[in-house]
Amino acid sequence: MTVHIKEVTNENRAEILKLQIHKRQRSFIETTEQCLKDALECKYYRPVGLYLENTLVGFAMYGFFPGEGDNGRVWLDRYFIDAKHQGQGLGTVLLNALIEQLIKEYDCPEIYLSIVEENKAACHLYKKFGFSFNGEADFNNERVMVKKI
């Protein structure tokens, strides 16, 4: 299985916008349309498509935010697998690739994310990768998790 992480461009934007969040997850994460709008408004966000071989199966948005913490923070801000591709273990495979990408791209000591605590499946996935709650909450009152590299 070959994983590709590709920036959102004019060539793949329409396909990215077709990605769907599973109904039961809609209160946990924004749509790709909202994510791309947020990325236009904040230059730190990097929206990407997550591909298995040549098939788009998920979406993520991450970035380095200066002025947070001592030297800024790397945030994995949005991450989901398209509803029709869930239940196949792809969340684990793609999160692993994404973490490797963030470490390579930013050479960071930590990766941060925030999560709606009721999203038990995502909490379980992130804990499996070494993320833990750090006691903080973000501006949406979501709980912050951090992974030490």
Residue-wise pLDDT for 15-28, tens only, equals 999 998 766 666 57
Which residues are part of the catalytic machinery? 126
Q: Is 12 helix (H, G, I), strand (E, B) or coil?
A: coil
Q: Give the global pTM.
A: 0.91
pLDDT digits (tens, 9 = 90+) for 56-102: 999 999 999 998 666 799 999 999 999 899 888 899 999 999 999 99
Q: How far apart are the C-alpha atoms of 7 and 146, rounded to whole Å?
A: 24
Using 50, 70 and 90 to split pLDDT, how confident is the model at 130?
very high
Give the sign of the dihedral formed by CA 8, CA 10, CA 12, CA 18: positive
CATH class of this structure's domain 3-148? alpha beta
pLDDT digits (tens, 9 = 90+) for 88-101: 889 999 999 999 99
